[in-house]
Chains A and B, each alone.
Chain A
Amino acid sequence: MQNGQHFIEIENVSKSFRLPGGGVVNAVKDVTNYISRGEVLVIIGPSGSGKSTLLRTINGLESYDEGQIVIDGVDLGHAHTDMNLLRAQVGMVFQHFNLFLHKTALMNVVMPQTVVLKRSRSEAERTARELLERVGIADRADNYPSQLSGGQQQRVAIARALAMNPKVMLFDEATSALDPETVGGVLELMAELASEGMTMVVVTHEMGFARRVAHRMIFMDAGEIVEEGAPEHFFTNPRNERTQRFLREIL
């Protein structure tokens, strides 16, 4: 019934990890969710609840054991799906930025365009300079990651992901590793992207951001979606007892 209706379809997805000792962790358990074009979905939940794992299955960095994920009509589980092409179209911003350490800020944004999208060097550079301008660090284009603050590195990382013209942007605790004074700027940039209509899935502990920017929120615990709703719902009368406890602790 839902098929074909939604931009991103996550249906009955489960993922478990086998531990070296022989144990098994059910990181994501039977998760179903549908994300529309232009929607900003914020995922919250305690540590180890499976937020990152779910996010990473959406761009194929992590495979899933059961269920189905379809992005804009492309089934990630299909044997003929070009996963590299798909990853190029799904932007990912990491907690620890993961900028290419051997490249300047500019070249971090240029390289994926020339290597993956086969853009010409000059076109890629033009795009890169525009994007660095847009994220507010055009003046640091020739600096290496080690010469930039965390906040600046994360801006470059966002520019790098945007350069691929992604259909959706995934953020995995993009501000958790930043100094408090640089968190605001990066969140502002993310809010701007959201207001421009970018489809976004955001894992974050920044409840102010969630309240202001999210269209919808989900609370995960022990690999499951425990509660789902609009931000007002979460911050005024969360139903589930586990959600209540989590929000009490974090707010």
Chain B
Amino acid sequence: MLAMYQNVFPFLLQGLWQTFVISMLAIFFGSLVGAFVGLGRARGNRWTVRGFGAYVHMLRGTPFLVQIYIVYFVLPTTNLAVFQLTSFQAAVIALSLYTSTYVAEIVSAAIEAVPRGQNEAAQAHGFNGFQTLWYVVLPQSFKMMMPPMGGVYVLVIKNTAVLSVIGVTELVREANVSIQRFPSFILSVFLLVALMYFCYCYPVLRLTRWAEKKWGGLHLNV
């Protein structure tokens, strides 16, 4: 048991750290891009609505595994310098794009869920489009976004496991390597890996619950 800890645990921790870094970057960039795309779908002109709609449907209609292959193996064949990515870079990019589609759907749905009367009241009092969005619509949609956002972030964290296929040394990859060295540890290693994922995901869910509560003072009838 002690041998296992000494030989395996440090590697698993390293993998967990990698998983943490990649998922946090993907959550950050994915949320940024997703908020932009979601806004463009809910409030943009004809072209952003269509263009961003196509973006979301295309990415959601294909498996993440295929997307990561395309970013890491297919794009470099164009021989363009920008597409010569390390596996870490490819992982962050692919996972950010994946995250952004889910965030975009949540953001646009939450904006559209704010009653039309709220928009009209703001408009009738002289708010311009930006002021309406900033002072009236977004504060109300924010609370609605929180619970599904927590779900997506957990989904993203769990999806980092797929990244082992392009050689990213995240948690699952480290676990596999450890088992090849110490096959008898297979059960305890994967129990430990599952526990690590849980210890990471659960606080994320709690955090979004907390954020929802914090803005629960909104007294919305929704």
- Chain A interface (Cβ within 8 Å of chain B)? 59, 61, 84-92, 94, 96, 98-102, 111-112, 115-117, 144-147, 157, 160-161, 164
CA distance A146 to B221 in the complex (A): 7
In the complex, chain A residues whose CB is within 8 Å of the CB of B218: 101-102, 144
CA distance A84 to B140 in the complex (A): 22
CA distance A147 to B220 in the complex (A): 10
B128 contacts the other chain (CB 8 A): yes
In the complex, chain A residues whose CB is within 8 Å of the CB of B124: 59, 61, 87, 90-92, 94, 161
In the complex, chain A residues whose CB is within 8 Å of the CB of B220: 101-102, 146
In the complex, chain B residues whose CB is within 8 Å of the CB of A89: 126
Q: Are B131 and A102 in contact (CB under 8 A)?
A: no
Which of B114-122, B151-159, B185-193 is the contact stretch? B114-122
29 A-B pairs whose Cβ atoms sit less than 8 Å apart in the complex: A59-B124, A61-B120, A61-B123, A84-B127, A87-B124, A87-B125, A87-B126, A89-B126, A92-B124, A94-B120, A94-B124, A96-B117, A98-B118, A99-B121, A100-B118, A100-B122, A101-B140, A102-B136, A102-B139, A102-B219, A111-B135, A112-B127, A115-B127, A115-B135, A145-B219, A146-B219, A157-B121, A161-B124, A164-B125
Residue of B nearest to A111 (CB): B135
CA distance A231 to B128 in the complex (A): 38
CA distance A94 to B219 in the complex (A): 21
In the complex, chain B residues whose CB is within 8 Å of the CB of A160: 125
B140 to nearest A CB, angstroms?
5
State how many residues of chain B have any CB contact under 8 Å with chain A. Answer: 21
In the complex, chain B residues whose CB is within 8 Å of the CB of A91: 124
Q: Which of B120, B124, B127, B220 has the most CB of A within 10 A?
A: B124
- Specify which of A86, A88, A92, A100 is in contact with B136 (CB 8 Å cutoff): A100
- Shortest Cβ-Cβ A-B pairs, 4 listed: A88-B126, A144-B219, A98-B121, A98-B117
A101 to nearest B CB, angstroms?
5
CA distance A59 to B123 in the complex (A): 10
- Chain B interface (Cβ within 8 Å of chain A)? 115, 117-118, 120-128, 131, 135-136, 139-140, 218-221
Q: Are B136 and A87 in contact (CB under 8 A)?
A: no
Residue of A nearest to B125 (CB): A112
In the complex, chain A residues whose CB is within 8 Å of the CB of B123: 61, 87
In the complex, chain A residues whose CB is within 8 Å of the CB of B120: 61, 94, 98
Task: Knowing that A111-B135, A160-B125 touch, tell me 16 more A-B residue pairs with CB under 8 angstroms.
Answer: A84-B126, A85-B126, A88-B125, A89-B126, A94-B121, A98-B117, A98-B118, A100-B121, A102-B220, A116-B125, A116-B126, A144-B218, A144-B219, A147-B219, A161-B124, A161-B125
In the complex, chain B residues whose CB is within 8 Å of the CB of A101: 118, 140, 218-221
CA distance A112 to B139 in the complex (A): 15
B217 to nearest A CB, angstroms?
9
In the complex, chain B residues whose CB is within 8 Å of the CB of A59: 124
CA distance A115 to B139 in the complex (A): 15
Q: Are A102 and B140 in contact (CB under 8 A)?
A: yes
Residue of B nearest to A114 (CB): B135
B78 to nearest A CB, angstroms?
43
Q: Which of A59, A87, A88 has the most CB of B within 10 A?
A: A87
B125 to nearest A CB, angstroms?
4
CA distance A161 to B136 in the complex (A): 16
CA distance A59 to B120 in the complex (A): 11
CA distance A90 to B125 in the complex (A): 8
In the complex, chain A residues whose CB is within 8 Å of the CB of B125: 87-88, 92, 112, 116, 160-161, 164
B139 to nearest A CB, angstroms?
5
Q: Are A116 and B219 in contact (CB under 8 A)?
A: no
In the complex, chain A residues whose CB is within 8 Å of the CB of B128: 84
Q: Which of A59, A115, A157 has the most CB of B within 10 A?
A: A115
Residue of B nearest to A87 (CB): B126
- Specify which of B117, B139, B140 is in contact with A94 (CB 8 Å cutoff): B117
In the complex, chain B residues whose CB is within 8 Å of the CB of A164: 125-126
In the complex, chain A residues whose CB is within 8 Å of the CB of B221: 101, 146
CA distance A222 to B204 in the complex (A): 57
In the complex, chain B residues whose CB is within 8 Å of the CB of A98: 115, 117-118, 120-121
In the complex, chain B residues whose CB is within 8 Å of the CB of A87: 123-126
In the complex, chain B residues whose CB is within 8 Å of the CB of A117: 126
